[in-house]
Amino acid sequence: MSLEELAAQLRRGEIEDRALAEYAAEYVTAGKCFRSKKDD
């Protein structure tokens, strides 16, 4: 599959691959966690 297709799947939340879906879930969790992190 191409990078573009995989990224589009991620953006649409329509990931078919289980391992990638797990990554996507972790990414969302990390995004929420790091929302409060203020760096520079």
Partner 1 sequence: MKPTPLLLQGQNYLFRSPPKTLDFQEQVHRMGMVDEGDGSPVPCVLVLARSADMEMNELSIALAERGIRMARIDADRCVDLPLTVYTDAPLVELDRWLLRPLLVWRRHFELSALPVEPGTLAGAYAVDQWGAVANWLATRNDWAHVNPTRSTAHLDRLTQLSDAASFGLTVPRTTVTTRPGRTRPGGAHCIVKTSGRHLLEPRPGVQHGLFPRPLETSRSSDAPESAPVIVQQYLPSETELRVFVVGGRCIAYQVDKLDPAQLWVDPDAVRVTPTTVPDRVAAKLLALARYWRVEVAAFDLLVTSKDHVFLEVNVNCDWRWFEHRAEDTLVSDAVHEWVAERFKELLGAGKGR
Give 5-37 as a DSSP string.
Answer: HHHHHHHHT---SHHHHHHHHHHHHHHHHHTT-
Nearest-Å Rg of the Cα atoms of the chain is 12
**What's the min distance (Å) between Cβ of 2 and partner 1?**
6
Nearer to partner 1, 14 or 36 (CB): 36
Q: What binding mask, one character per residue, do residues 1-40 give for partner 1 by CB under 8 A, x or -?
A: xxxx-xxx-xx-----x-xx--x--xx--xx--xxxxxxx
Interface with partner 1 by CB under 8 A: which residues? 1-4, 6-8, 10-11, 17, 19-20, 23, 26-27, 30-31, 34-40
